[in-house]
Chains A and B, each alone.
Chain A
Amino acid sequence: MKKILVIEDDESIRRSVGMMLRISGFEAFYAENGSVGLQMAAQSMPDVIICDIAMPVLDGYGFIQELRKNPATAKIPVIFLTAKAAEEDIAKGKALGANAYLTKPIWPADLLKIVQEQLGQNA
């Protein structure tokens, strides 16, 4: 079973994404900010990470930079799922190494499709 790490400070979204992943046959892990997310990524080595950007403690940009620094986690695909929809935010996210950049709100099917794409590429 593929492991997906969901890093999101909004509990409601975190739980919704988690439910969708579980129903779709994935194992979901959760973290409420980038700092917790880094620890969990290192511990559980997920196949894909879905990550918000605007979060307390450590935001999505900081998270991906740290993630890529660690050779063990550097290759894990990261999907940014964020309310930051400005072009410069998208460009920044991609420049920092995000594999996909999705803006909120999103249909579960669209998110799922991107997750599966990342898993396919990774596999």
Chain B
Amino acid sequence: MAKKVSAPHTRSSSQADDLKQASFHEPSLTSHAAEDLSPEEKIAALEQRLADEIARRMELEAKLQRSTQEFEQILHQRTDLLQELIMQLQNEISQRDAVEAQLRKRTDVMHDFIKQLEQEMEERREAEVNLRLSEERFRTVIEKSPVGICIINYDGTFEYVNPAYCALFGYEPHELKKKPFSIIFDKEEAQSAEALFRRIFDGKLEMRGERTMRTKHGQRITVLTDSVHSDSSDGNEQSRKLLVFVLDITQRKQAEDMLRRAKVIIDKSPAVIYQFSLQPNFPLEFVSDNIKQFGFTAQDFTSGAISFLHHVHPDDREKVLDTFRHLSKAKADHLRREYRLLTAQGRTVWVEDNLMAVYDEQGNVTGYQGVLLDIDERRRAEEEINKALLKEKELIELKARFVTIASHEFRTPLTSILLSVGILRDFAPILSEEERVESLTRISNGVHHMTSLLQDLLVYGKAESGEIRPKKLPLQIRSWCSDFATQAQERLGQRHTLLYAPPAREQECMIDESMIRQILEHLLSNADKFSPEGSPIHFTVDVQDDKWIMAIQDSGIGIPKEDLPRIFEPFHRGTNIGNIGGTGMGLAIVQKMVDFLDGEISVRSDVGKGTTFTIVLPLRTLS
């Protein structure tokens, strides 16, 4: 292209040279005219010269015009050519731009690729480092693992054992290397262990679960095993390995065994163990299964379905809640309570609760463990004992009172005797015969009274202590009563007439005859003593279906109302009896005898009119 445009440039330069030549002639003409010719000549010459010059110039101008035209033509041509070239050039440039863009794009892709490659290489490097680290870690883990790990070859020999495995079985690594796996089994089991191992290797059995194995020193240990198959890298079946994990659970098994035994002991023991935390409402965290003795399940309480406090007897609930609150605040180590529990069936049971604090690792009390013991029988026995003691105490008091009264009753005749003896001794010379006899009579009466009192006391004492045993013998009621009435009339003599009303029919029964006799004799004696002479005494007997009824009725002084409630007490005597003798024991003995015969005695009395005692004996128990 540079060569093509150089030609017009060259031509253009020569035309410019022509123009420069023309302008060079003009200054030389002007200097000749001034020196040789006249002014006119000079002017004419100049004019000539000018005309020549004009003509030359015109010629030059025409030349120039032509040149210009040529130049313009060439210029046009060149311009067209140049335009064409420019267009070509532009096309080329566009093409080049396109190529360049494509190139740049490709370069970018290339850059990205390189970058990615670099990144991948970096990642791979990192992965390699990680793999190395991981391998180291893995090795460390295996080496430091508390779990015994071994790799077993297809032929059943050890390929690798980690320290924990060696420690577990008491071997050094070299002692196991390439040794048969069955070494850790008992000799008797070794064969079956090999068969077992083959089955595991062949994938027919999983080596997972608890097994008993043997250490180097022959100690049997319980282990938990698991295994993983490792495929061969070369595809050879016999290059396969088995990775076995072994965890010593001997202690855990022993602990479990102890726990199981403890649970059996707890479940079979009567003591229920429970634990609650010091959270609001004191939720139960544990309850032993033997809570079923109260009709509940442990879950009833631990799930919160049933409130423990709700099953404490309402009268004791506040007390128990107070205990829990107190423990919550005071954090006491131990507390013992007795309260009543309501079973699931609603039965009330006395329990003893021994509460002991439960501590966390920092020594803070987090809850309490209670040991509940059914003490219902003990409590009831205690209540019975207390009742018995109370009864015993009452009995002792009664006996003390009895002794006091008895002593009082003995002091009276003794006083009479002692006074009379004293008078006879100290005043004998001045005593009249009448006074002497009176004194001796009082002594005699006093002794007689004391003898009667002793007799009655002996009978009552025997009855009271249960020493009397009824001797039941067959007795014909009507005939016996008839005989008794006859004998009684003989004793009453002329003082009273006994009006006997016999039963309508004869009836046989089994009874202690002496007891019936004592009852009737005491009642008749009272009727005799407290009725005016000549007044009749009624003895009425009736036999009904299941009862034997007897009544003794007199027309005597009667018993004052205030005395009626006490007439059967020992030594109690009516306030209206005056000097009528007696020990005050008669009716007390009667009451005892009636009680022995399971009968009843009642009294109806009007002061000044008389008294009726009625005895009802059950025939059913007598027959």
Q: Using a CB–CB distance below 8 Å, which chain A residues touch chain B? A: 10-13, 15-17, 19-20, 23-24, 32, 54, 56-57, 83-86, 103-109, 111
Contact = CB atoms under 8 A, between A and B. Distances in A.
B430 to A, nearest CB: 6
A94 B578 CA distance: 28
B422 A57 contact: no
A104 B431 CA distance: 23
B450 to A, nearest CB: 11
A89 B423 CA distance: 28
A112 to B, nearest CB: 9
B571 to A, nearest CB: 11
Contacts of B446: 12
Nearest to B410: A83
A23 B431 contact: yes
B408 A108 contact: no
Contacts of A19: 423, 435, 438-439
A11 B579 contact: yes
B416 A16 contact: yes
B253 interface: no
Contact of B426 (A17, A83, A84, A109): A109
B415 A13 contact: yes
B414 interface: yes
A16 B420 CA distance: 6
A106 B423 contact: no
Given A12-B445, A13-B415, A104-B414, A54 B423 contact: no
B418 A107 contact: yes
B442 interface: yes
A54 B408 CA distance: 10
Contacts of B442: 12, 15-16
Contact of A84 (B408, B413, B575): B408
Contacts of A13: 412, 415-416, 419
B138 interface: no
B23 interface: no
Contact of B423 (A10, A20, A56, A105): A20
A19 B579 CA distance: 18
Contact of A108 (B404, B419, B430, B438): B419
A12 B441 CA distance: 10
A50 B412 CA distance: 15
Contacts of B575: 56-57
Contact of A10 (B416, B417, B426): B416
Listed from nearest, the 3 A-B pairs whose CB atoms lie closest are A108-B422, A83-B411, A16-B419
B407 interface: yes
Interface of B, helix, strand, loop or mixed by DSSP: helix
Given A19-B435, A23-B423, A104 B407 contact: no
Interface of B: 404, 407-409, 411-420, 422-423, 426-427, 430-431, 435, 438-439, 442, 445-446, 575-576, 578-579
A14 B445 CA distance: 14
Contact of B422 (A11, A12, A20, A32): A20
B422 A107 contact: yes
Given A12-B446, A16-B423, A20-B422, A104 B412 contact: yes
Contacts of A111: 419
Nearest to A10: B412
Contacts of A12: 413, 416, 442, 445-446
15 contacts: A12-B416, A13-B415, A16-B415, A16-B423, A16-B439, A20-B423, A23-B423, A57-B575, A83-B411, A85-B411, A104-B414, A105-B414, A105-B415, A107-B418, A111-B419
A86 B404 contact: yes
Nearest to B445: A12
A89 B442 CA distance: 28
Given A10-B412, A20-B427, A104-B411, 15 more contacts: A12-B445, A13-B415, A13-B416, A16-B416, A16-B420, A16-B442, A19-B438, A20-B423, A23-B427, A23-B431, A56-B575, A83-B415, A85-B411, A104-B414, A105-B417
A61 to B, nearest CB: 15
B415 A85 contact: no
Nearest to B579: A11
A120 to B, nearest CB: 20
A38 to B, nearest CB: 18
Contacts of B407: 83, 85
Contact of B419 (A20, A56, A57, A86): A20
Contacts of A83: 407-409, 411-412, 415
A60 to B, nearest CB: 13
Contact of B411 (A86, A105, A108): A105
A104 B411 CA distance: 6
A107 B435 CA distance: 17
Contact of B415 (A11, A54, A106): A106
Nearest to A24: B427
Nearest to B427: A23
B576 to A, nearest CB: 8
A97 B578 CA distance: 28
B423 A108 contact: yes
A109 B418 CA distance: 11
Nearest to B573: A56
A13 B412 CA distance: 8
A16 B435 CA distance: 10
B579 to A, nearest CB: 5
Nearest to B422: A108
B361 to A, nearest CB: 67
Nearest to B408: A83
A6 to B, nearest CB: 11
B429 to A, nearest CB: 10
Contacts of A32: 578-579
A15 B443 CA distance: 12
